[in-house]
Amino acid sequence: MLAVLRHRMHETFVRWALRVRPPEPAPIVLTQRRVYVLPTRAGLAYATALGVILLGAMNYNLSLGHALVFLLAGLGVVTILHTFRNLALLEIRPGRCEPVFVGDVARFALVLKSQRPDARTSLRLFVNADAPLEIDVGPHASTLATLGVATTKRGWLPMPRATIETTWPLGLVRAWSYAVPDFNCLVYPAPAATAPPLPWGGEAARGSTRDGRGADDFSGLRKHQVADAPRHVAWKAVARQQDGPLLTKLFSGASAQQIWLDWNTLPDAITCEQRLAILARWMLDADAAGLAWGLRLPALQLAPDNGPEQLAAGLRALALYQDGKG
Amino acid sequence: MGRANRPVSGRQAWWLLATALAASAPLAQQVPLWLSLAAACAFAWRAALTWRQWHLPPRWLLVLLVMAGTVGVFLQYRTIMGRTPGISLLVVFLALKLLELRAARDAVATALLCYFLVLGQFLFTQTIATALLAGITVLITTASLLAASDDRPQPQQQLRRATLMLAQAMPFMLLLFVLFPRVQGPLWGLPQDRFSAVSGLSDTMAPGTIARLSQSDAIAFRVRFQGAIPAQSQLYWRGPVMPAFDGRSWRVAQTQGAYPTVPYAGSGTPVDYEVTLEPHGKFWLFALEMPATLPADSALTVDYQPIARQAVRNRLRYTQSAWPEAIAGEKESPAVLRAALALPEAGNPRTRAIGAAWRAQHGDDGAAILAAAEKLFNQQLLIYTLNPPLLGADMVDEFLFDTKRGFCEHFAAAFVFSLRSAGVPARVVAGYQGGEVNPVDGYLEVRQYDAHAWAEAWIAGRGWVRIDPTAISAPSRINSNLAAAIPAGEGLPFLARAAWLKDLRYRLDAVTNGWNQWVLGYNPQRQRDLLASLGMSAPDWRSMTAVLSVLCGAVMLGLTAWILRNRLRVDPALAAWRRFTRRLAKRGIAWQSWEGPQAFAERAAAQAPLHAVGIREIAALYARLRYGPAPQGSDLEQLKRRIAAFKP
């Protein structure tokens, strides 16, 4: 009950503390207004110790005791400023975030940029307080910090609220701020562990040489590899350049194997998420086998192709598939 | 959150060890020897733990050691309260805390213990050297806290940062020191051992007590006169008055009430002065004879001795004035006179016989008896010496007629005894005589070796009259100082004689006095005086707090502005490029922020074909400076020149 209340109060505070409606557009600058400072437990102990020393100095009329307390009190004030300065005006921008499968850890790469002539030391960045990242940002430099977030659902995963804090230099006060950048990770459905075999359709094929590449139409040149047939070496092109590498002619054509991964070929009993999982598994398998594959979803069709772009497009379609709309 | 539980790294452990050493080493003289050795062992153990990366000792062992240390301190002092036992316990805790540095919070605890030990040093001594030493300890402790937060920087970097932070804390310290409303301690009872080792006059006088003080050149008090300093022979600093005699030693009278104000009428010009009295743990204050006013919180005993309400346990400053020619006690109470006539039943028959003879000859004429006594002392050719021979039971007789050698207490005692035996009320007054003016700051310094004893006789119609029997035999003691009166070769404090060191000593004393007056003696009274002299009318804690808040706020703002100054240093090449694009923008060729320099140059060259070459060259230079490998300084100069010369 108390924990719930505390959590709710904290959330209210954070909403107020962010000062902007999340998600925030990049770059997020931690302005003075949104950096908060409170003493840590060590800071409270320090303050208590100062109180005791002051009492002792008063009781014994120790002028130097007074001076000691006042110097340490001044140090306490100065450390507030230093801690605050360590964090204030830091810039946070979203960097890259590679798509992942459900169950994997989404890695949000944030770029922390400092415009200061001196370094920012011992910043802690975290989504979950148990696993903070320790970061330094050099003078006039940027640092990449990658926050891991567990995924449970396919689709776009917005980056959760990140807390950035520091207790540097003396550990007596903690300055912190929150950031919710406009930053999303694409989460693919997890491929099914067990799936029906790849749907070899009627267009199954004539023999092929390699990796979906046919032998009919000239499609380009690439660097010669030892295993390439000598008859495919582009002798003319080689002759044109001086001591260049050997080049191999590439051909493409219908000879590459081609399959269709079709939503509708799966039995009706299978649920939507299971279908997506099976399709994802097929795509990975087809890609691994070097097949050209096409995808048919209820409202979307991808022409057969292969390669990383095709795989990414297919998985993206699955990730963003919405039941009934596609 | 995990940060308080991070383990302590080797580097942090070294820092904490250095801190503990710096904090506890100055206390080695104060704590028992066995504790110093035990602490040294613990420090060595800590060093070995860090060096060899051994496991920390188990917790039960540490608990056992803490208990052993506490019991040891208790056995040593029979208490664990008070100054030295408390410090000893802190040393025990600190030494053992070093052996259980598990997490970051242990590092903080160690640092706080060290701060307490610094305060502990101040209980024993507050000299300038102590302050400097404490400053170094605080610096190391701060660096060690820095290391606890981030242990990667090199030691000198940590020390530099700690110095910077402490320097920034200084303005706050100064403001708080001057303006923080001071409270006069003690807030609760002081342990009795606070003043166990101070020297000074005591409330009894036996042969040898004052001679012992003459070996000490410690300052008893310092005086600043408002006007001219009176003649050396007039500087009688009245201390404890001793009318009671038991045959061997003189004692102060039992308290019989006190006057809240001076009971006699003044005469002559008053001498105004301010005394800064070193703590001596007794109640009496020292006043130039005869006191004309009384300091705050003090009273005058029936024998005109100013006493404070509380024992003088801290350096005390008071202003007072004196009437050198006042007639005190013209109408003295019979009880006081009776006490000033009391003699033991027996002893010193020869002096008694002479006294009786004077009485027979002069009757009640006190002045005549006084003159006879002075004549006797003159005739006896007494010798003033620091090393008088030991005296037996009839010490007055032996001094006056046999050994004839004595220090001021012998003279005063013998003189008072002879007067009493002739029926003239008399008593011994102890105090200080003379003093030296420090030419550096103009203060009169009265040292323990200026301690003195003289006599006071009551003459009808003239009240109490001061007679200094020492002056009869050794006038130079009174007119110059002790060193002049004592034959060369007798042991005196080095500084009392060595003239060639005097200048240095005066300077040192002046610095010490300034430190005492303005740092150590900065008490509520001095604070009020200072603030009033700075223009604060009626400074009380409210106005002080208000001024303090305003000034601290101002310092805070200044520091914040300085600390948060965001020097956005723009790349000079970019700045030059911006000047260039602004000029082109005036011609209607605006640079888009997404445009690369080469692309912009081509576009601009197409729009302003006359300047195409210049534009392309500038763009190429800029691109090389910003994006090329290892930018050249000469390129930057060239770019600036080209852009300055560029007129579209």
**Average pLDDT over chain B, rounded to whole?**
84
Cβ-proximal residues to B459 (8 Å cutoff; 6+ apart), any chain = B366, B367, B370, B424, B465
- Closest CB from A55, A77, A129 relative to B1: A129
A147 shares its domain with A270: no
Verify that A104 and A251 share a domain, yes or no: no
Among candidate residues A168, A187, A206, the one where a domain is terminated: A187
| Residues of chain A with C-beta less than 8 angstroms from the C-beta of B108 | 42, 45-46, 171
Active site residue B280: no
Coil, strand or helix at B54: coil
Model confidence at B195: pLDDT above 50? no
- Active-site residue, selected from the candidate residues B280, B362, B452, B611: B452
Residue B221, pLDDT above cutoff 80 = yes
pLDDT attached to residue B612? 86
CA distance B335 to B351: 25
Q: Is the dihedral of CA B346, B348, B350, B356 positive or negative?
A: negative
Do A164 and A49 sit in the same domain of this protein? yes
| A145 plus A234 within the same structural domain | no
Mean pLDDT check: name the lowest of A66-70, A106-110, A247-251, B617-621.
A247-251
Q: Mind listing the domains of chain B with CATH numbers?
A: 2-164 (no CATH), 335-431+452-493 (3.10.620.30), 572-645 (no CATH)
Q: Say if residue A154 is in the same domain as residue A246.
A: no
* Mean pLDDT of chain A, nearest integer: 83
First CA to last CA across chain A, in angstroms? Answer: 43
Determine the pLDDT at residue B486.
Answer: 64
Among A78, A117, A171, the residue with its CB nearest the CB of B567 is A117
Whether the predicted pLDDT of A250 surpasses 70: no
- Our answer to whether residue B410 is catalytic in this structure is no
Examine residue A27 and say whether the peptide bond preceding it is cis (omega within 30 degrees of 0): yes
Residues A278 and A149 in one domain: no
Name the domain count of chain A: 2
B chain contacts of residue A77, beta-carbon cutoff 8 Å: 169, 172, 556
Which position among B408, B410, B450, B509 bears the catalytic label? B408
Checking if the pLDDT of B133 tops 90, the result is yes
pLDDT (0 to 100) of residue A188:
94
**Which residues of chain B does A114 touch, with a Cβ-Cβ cutoff of 8 Å?**
none
Domain encompassing residue A64? 7-187
B275: phi then psi, degrees, rounded to nearest 5: -105, 135
B79-B84-B86-B92 Cα dihedral, nearest 10 degrees: -100
Residue A219 pLDDT: 63
**Banded model confidence at residue B631, pLDDT cuts 50, 70, 90:** low
Confidence of residue B461 (pLDDT cuts 50, 70, 90): confident
| A297 phi, psi to nearest 5 deg | -110, 165
- Using alpha carbons only, what angle is made at residue B193 by residues B190 and B198, rounded to the nearest 5 degrees? 110
A325 falls within a domain = no
Q: What is the dihedral of CA B152, B153, B155, B158, to 10 degrees?
A: -120
Please confirm, yes or no, whether B611 is among the known catalytic residues.
no
Same domain, A129 and A46: yes
Q: Are residues A223 and A183 in the same domain?
A: no
Residue B173's CB is within 10 A of a number of other CB atoms, namely: 20
Model-wide pTM > 0.80: no
Cα(B497)–Cα(B449) distance, rounded to whole angstroms?
A: 12
Residue A193 covered by a domain: no
Per-residue pLDDT for B493 more than 50? yes
- Per-residue pLDDT averaged across B163-183, rounded? 92
Alpha-carbon span B116 to A175, nearest angstrom: 27
Residue A199 within any structural domain of the chain: no
* Count of residues making up chain A: 326
Q: What is the mean pLDDT of residues B376-402?
A: 84
Model confidence pLDDT, tens digit, residues A125-136 = 999 877 888 999
Q: Is the pLDDT of residue B102 over 90?
A: no
Residues A148 and A46 in one domain: yes
Please give the C-alpha separations between residue B457 and each of A70, B206, B469, in angstroms, as whole numbers.
54, 20, 12
Asked if B188's CB is within 8 angstroms of A59's CB, the reply is: yes
Residue A324 domain flag: no
Nearest Cα residue in chain A from B137: A68
What are the tens digits of pLDDT across the range B578-626? Answer: 888 888 888 888 887 678 888 888 888 888 888 888 888 888 888 888 8
pLDDT of residue B454: 92
Same domain, A76 and A165: yes
pLDDT tens-digit series, residues A157-211: 999 989 999 998 899 999 999 888 888 999 999 998 888 888 775 444 444 444 4
* Residue B401, CA distances (Å) to B368, B383, B396 in order: 22, 12, 8
The size of the A-B interface in CB pairs under 8 A is: 166
B268 pLDDT band, cuts 50/70/90, is confident
